[in-house]
Amino acid sequence: MTITSFTELGISEPLLRALEDADYQTPTPIQSKAIPLLLDGLDLLGIAQTGTGKTAAFTLPLLHNLEEDNVRPGKGQARALILAPTRELVIQIADSIKTYGRHMHMRSAVVMGGVGQRPQVDALRRGVDILVATPGRLLDLIKQGHIDLSQTEYLILDEADRMLDMGFIRDVRRIIEKLPEERQTLLFSATMPGEVAKLSRDILYEPERVEIAAKSIAVDRIDQRVHHLDKNAKQTRLAELLAEPDFDRVMVFTRTKHGANKVVKLLERDGISAEAIHGNKSQGARQRALDNFREGRTRVLVATDIASRGIDIDDVTHVINFELPNVPESYVHRIGRTARAGAEGIAISFCDASERSHLRSIERLIKRSLIIVGEGPVGPDVDSVENRKGRPQRSNSGRGRRRRSQRRAA
Ligand code: AMP
């Protein structure tokens, strides 16, 4: 059964009124799936990215449950903790709490780095219903004795994969150690790298899994692979690939003009016909390079992102990302050069150690992991939940948590 109204979801009247004020007509898919489970007190693993309505999906049931529990926070305590990787996200979540909780009397506070800690400490002193925080500053305040999480019954981790990228996972684990074992825990992540999958197994108890696919990005037909390798091995690997006869019409992408020129020079040294297009070339030179490529006189066109916009060439057999773009959307534009007009295409990305976080942002955007090929260090996503059989196990078994509904009945 698909739930199509917020009333059917079972959230309380003050929340329904706030949603009406905000002119939300119908729940998004993640909201209709997650909210009933969360009202029931279950743990949740949410695989979803920003834009799906996930903030409301966790904030609405949290506000509902906190009101129903009807307890006051003790001094320096928080009844619920939401952890997010960045200040921007913390502020956004705090705003959502204000919007959805406007007809309730919930006290919330934010804790984040980059601003003075004094006002944050003052806000915490009396205790809060909901605390939204970045991990680093929160851990600081815990160490200084300003906050006590021993009575925090609700924990939400938002954008866990970004926390991993930013090196916060250890801090997150330290913070969670301060919480009681009897609690409801939610973890949201757009992708499931091994570390995040492990964290979810450790902190969630028999979680329900809700997965929302990314908006349709037409990259499904493209075979996408990644080679993990050293930066200085890229040129050799490129030449090896181009020695294969089926690499017939190939676009190679670099981040910089200088990089594009260098690749062309080295390919020519290896006897492979290649030309570059980028912003430093005259319009005439760019057009000639494009024509040569289109007519098959050059096999390889090396381009930067900006120069490649709007290029329409059919039958590109392979796109090779010599360097990964730091803007993930550029990846989608780049690989869209292959598989045009219904053809199958192949996209190969080179990823050195410094590009791992770019890779993860891309995988988050396209909502899939690239296939890892070749030698080199093991990729960050090989240990994903999807690769494991069966239901995730808790590593610290025997902890006596029960479901919220059971806790209530007891
Ligand atoms: P999020 O994925 O949580 O960042 O939300 C994306 C945007 O969608 C936010 O601007 C929300 O205010 C908005 N939004 C969330 N749920 C709904 C809904 N059910 N109806 C309309 N807008 C929504």
Q: Tell me the CA–centroid distance for residue 93 and ligand 1, in Å.
A: 11
Judged against a pLDDT cut of 70, whether residue 218 lies above it is answered with: no
CA of 24, closest atom in ligand 1: 20
Choose the residue to mutate in 6, 24, 95 for probing ligand 1, maximizing ligand atoms within 8 Å of C-beta: 24
CA–centroid distance for 159 within its chain: 6
91, 116: one domain = yes
For residues 34 and 54, give the distance between their C-alpha atoms in angstroms, rounded to a whole number. 9
172, 266: one domain = no
225, 202: one domain = no
Atom 15 (ligand 1): residue with closest C-alpha? 53
Judged against a pLDDT cut of 50, whether residue 261 lies above it is answered with: yes
Q: Is the CB of 54 under 6 A from ligand 1?
A: yes
pLDDT (tens digit per residue) in 194-213: 899 999 999 999 999 999 86
Q: Look at 396 and 3; give whichever has higher pLDDT.
A: 3
Asked whether the beta carbons of 217 and 361 are under 8 A apart, the reply is no
- Does 54 map to a domain? yes
375, 252: one domain = yes
Choose the residue to mutate in 16, 26, 28 for probing ligand 1, maximizing ligand atoms within 8 Å of C-beta: 28
Asked whether the beta carbons of 238 and 323 are under 8 A apart, the reply is no
Across the range 338-349, mean pLDDT stands at 75
Residue numbers of the domain that contains 142: 6-212
204, 304: one domain = no
Across the range 140-150, mean pLDDT stands at 97
Give Rg (Cα) of the chain: 25
- Does 238 map to a domain? yes
Q: Residue 7 — pLDDT band, cuts 50, 70, 90?
A: very high
Q: The domain spanning residue 249 has which CATH number?
A: 3.40.50.300
Least confident of 85-94, 186-195, 338-347: 338-347
Structure-token pair, residue 385: 């939940």
β-pairing, 108-111 with 154-157?
Answer: unpaired
Any residues with CB less than 8 A from the CB of 82 and at least 6 apart, and which?
A: 58, 93, 130, 131, 132, 133, 156, 158
Judged against a pLDDT cut of 80, whether residue 407 lies above it is answered with: no
276, 137: one domain = no
Closest CA to 39 of 60, 18, 55: 60
β-pairing, 44-47 with 208-211?
Answer: parallel
175, 249: one domain = no
Buried (b) or exposed (e) across 142-157, using 16+ Cβ within 10 A? beeebbbbeebbbbbb
